[in-house]
Structure 1
Amino acid sequence: MDEVVDGIFVGTESDASDEALLRKHGVDTVVSLTHSNPKTGDVTRVDVPMIDGPQNSYDAFTEAVSEVVEQRENGQRVLVHCSAGSSRSPSVAAAAITRLSETTLNEAFNQIIERRPETDPHDALVRQAAKSTEQYRD
């Protein structure tokens, strides 16, 4: 689990299930992008199941981004996770960062990659992030 910006973490399904790790980082909410149900203990879990790739629903993508933004705006520390923490969760986190700051999508991805080198988002998810960013800023 890596803190990619203040209060937003990107991680794996096993990170989401590690109550001690969640406590250590002060995570209040887990936004789960998998189709499984990780046990997050007493930490709030928001499920927005997504698929890694072009068959992913754009509505699910934008819902996940909105959940992260809403939680951060409410002062919550958020872990966004998928299976490996390399594609879905960094893509959602990057789009959320652009909505929460003056950061461009490219800058957000670069910051995430710097803090989480295993980041390797699917091109289709990068396109969804770009579309959601353009839609939000229009």
Structure 2
Amino acid sequence: MTAIPATNLWIGNAGDARNLQKIRSLEIRAILLLAYEEPIVNYPRDLTLIRLPLLDGGENDFFNFEIAVTSLTSLIQNDVQTLVTCSMGMSRSPVIVSAALAIHHSLPFDDVLTSVCKSIPTDVSPEFYRYVRSVFEKLI
């Protein structure tokens, strides 16, 4: 689990999403689960949980993508400590975090993605990147 500098955001993997002790110690209040292939975990009622299953390619529903980005943007605007996870925490999570931060700060998506990717190990799927890049403009 890695903090994104100058934000209340953390990026992690499926194992991090199950580490309730670490989540509590970081005072994380919301978890955005993006992994299509991971099982659903039971969380305590005081944690906000948003599960939007995205595939690491271009075959996602715009609906799920839009909810993921707008929900995360709202959490950012409200200064909520949030963990964003996908299976490995290296593709879907940094891309969705970058899209939400770009919208929140009115910055170019590619610039924000480059900055986020400097903070964590990444392996962004080219198909997922192209998909997000193509629909990003519809959200702003």
Change in Cα spacing, 1:10 to 1:64, as seen in structure 2 (3 Å) is same
> How many Å separate the matches in 1 of 2:111 and 2:42?
33
**Equivalent in 45, 59, 64 of residue 60 of structure 1:** 64
Cα displacement (A) at 1:15: 0.6
CA deviations over 1:42-69 (Å, ceiling 9, x no partner): 4221111111112222221121111111
Counterpart residue number, 1:83: 87
1:127-138 alignment, distance < 5 Å: 127-137=130-140
TM-score, length of structure 1 as denominator length: 0.88
Q: Which runs of 5+ in 1 are unaligned?
A: none
SS at match of 2:54: coil
Look up the SS of the partner of 1:107 in the other structure.
helix
Any idea what the Cα deviations from partners look like across 1:28-51, whole Å, max 9, x if unmatched?
100111242134434221111111
Specify the alignment match of 1:18 in structure 2. Answer: 19
Write the distance in 1 (CA, Å) between the matches of 2:34 and 2:124: 14
Cα separation, partners in 2 of 1:77 and 1:54, compared to 1, 3 Å: same
Per-residue deviation at 1:4?
1.8
How far apart in 2 are the matches of 1:131 and 1:69?
19
Unaligned 5+ segments in structure 2 are none
Looking at structure 1, the residues matched to 108 and 102 of structure 2 have their Cα atoms a distance apart, in angstroms, of 6
Between 1:31-40 and 1:49-58, the stretch displaced more is: 31-40
Cα distance in 1 between the residues matched to 2:105 and 2:135: 15
SS class of match (1:91): helix
Moved over 6 A (4+): none
SS at match of 2:53: coil
Alpha carbons 2:10, 2:82 under 8 Å: kept: yes
SS of aligned partner of 1:108: helix
Of residues 126, 129, 135, the one that matches 2:129 is 126
CA distance in 2, matches of 1:39, 1:110: 34
Aligned to 1:105: 109
- Percent identical across equivalent pairs? 24
Alpha carbons 2:58, 2:130 under 8 Å: kept: no
